[in-house]
Amino acid sequence: NILNQLAFLVDISIEMYLNHLASTKFVFFQLIQSISDTLSRISTQSISTFWYYLETREDLIQSRIFDKKMTSDRISLLEICNGLTDKIYTGTKHKDSYRKDTFNDKFQFRVRIFLTNIFQFEDNTGLNKYFTLASRVVKESGPLKTNSWKDEVLQDIVKLNKILRDPYSCLKNPRALVNNCEMFKRLNDFLFEEEEAIKAPKSDPFLIKKSEPKDYLKQKYDDKMFFSENYWLSPFEETPRGPKYETMKKEDETYFMEHTLSKSRNHLLIQIYFISCLFYQLVGSNKKQLLKDINAPANIKHITDDATPESAVNIFFKIRKDMINRYKTIDTQLSFLLQHIQNSELHWWAWLIYSKDPVTGKPLFSDRELTDQDLELVNEKTASVIPFKEKRYFNTYGTPQLSRKMKVPTGLELLQKTSEKPEIDQNDIDQLTEKIKHSTDKTEQDGLVEERTVLQWKKLKQQRIGKWLDLGELLSEEKISAPALKNDTADPATNHENTKNTQESEPSTEVD
């Protein structure tokens, strides 16, 4: 009952704005904000039920209330929806981003879909262009020190994940970034050597492949352990000795074995590629050239004032360039994908910083209508890139045999009778009968008999085609029963004589 009253109150605010006072739009957003905050504190079920009401008003809000060109409307709607989706547990002084409320994912999904349907596709209002998270800390711990070369690899992986969470923080400390460059290069070379050894191994004529034991698959999956996404984010206590230390040491070894898989290596290599592209684009000269290429006005600045130190540029450029070339030898499809991403970087940065077309100065996606000239131009370019073969020998359906069969016309209309065949004349049959009687040559007589038999068969067929539907009228009960009674009372000898005469009068229907 309370939810119905709240919905009625929101309807009144909509009515006031649409038909009476246009200046009361802010009342609608403030009312939704207050109701959402209050119901979310009560229970998720309450706000989830109220959200069904807003979903029924989605078309009305999108078409008549929400103005996509007004920043205040976009900010108001973002405050409402973000307050419902970004629920962080605050049991400690600092918010922990890895203790997010995941019990209400279904409701949060509905809120995000509602917001996505109302906003434009290219709208970046309130977009977090930085990787930093205010007032949030992440507890970390590195791998155990076991005096093994694997420790260095695991430490490099942990450092890589730390930089990926907040790359801009590395720009504050140029010396640390230069040191991390060596780590990027070292980890990149190690992973590529391992990947090339699997995908493109060098031939060794004296190498004898080791036979796998029969229980290989059973052992493989018995020893396989599950590691959650935030495995390295969990705090560990220092246990330099004892059974717990041995358990953690085994977990580190298993974690290292997980990264020996091809998919894990590719995952890390792509992360290194992305972070190298980011730092290379943040070089001072590249930032100035980017703003010049997108025709950004003087008041538009880059997303960060810090720049990558010049001493680290060569390493990032080399990683960015060599990774595509090295992938061409082991995975051409992934190499093409990375090259396509690299060519699309200008458009991504232009949308992130300026979000307008560099040529026209208009938004990239909104109110974009394609004219006939644009479509013809794209058609011409496509035809030149992928020409269509119009030669006679081009197989339309794959193979010549299939193409010939598919060209045969089919359809029910072709089954209709197009022309009437000439009716067989009885005089022709009689003439052949006379010729047979006067013929003395056995061969000629056989040919005439065969010709007469064919004409008789065709004549009987024409008669059956025209009269077989009348069989129901001819075979009535009266016409069938009357001759039968007459035959029963007649003399058997007479019946036999009549049958004999009938058979002699009927023409032969057998074909020699």
What's the full length of the chain, in residues?
512
pLDDT higher for 364 or 1? Answer: 1
Average pLDDT on 356-383 reads 77
For the chain, the C-alpha Rg in angstroms (whole number) is 44
pLDDT, position 129: 60
Residue 238 has pLDDT above 70, yes or no: no
More confident residue, 445 or 102: 445
Q: Helix axis angle, 243-258 relative to 149-165, nearest 10°?
A: 70
Query: Which tens digit of pLDDT belongs to each residue from 165-191?
Result: 778 888 888 888 888 888 888 888 888
Name beta bridge partners: 125: none
Residue position matching structure tokens 């974690």: 255
Q: What percent of the chain has pLDDT over 70?
A: 68
Q: How many CB atoms lie within 10 A of CB 469?
A: 8
User: How does pLDDT run across 16-50, given as a tens digit for each residue?
Assistant: 999 888 888 889 999 999 999 999 888 888 999 99
Maximum Cα–Cα distance for the chain, whole Å? 132
Which string of b and e fits 98-107 if b means at least 16 CB within 10 Å?
Answer: eeeeeebeeb
pLDDT-based confidence at residue 505 (cuts at 50, 70, 90): very low
Q: What is the pLDDT of residues 451-464, one digit of tens each?
A: 999 988 888 888 77
Confidence of residue 51 (pLDDT cuts 50, 70, 90): very high
Residue 95's φ and ψ, nearest 5 degrees, are -75, 135
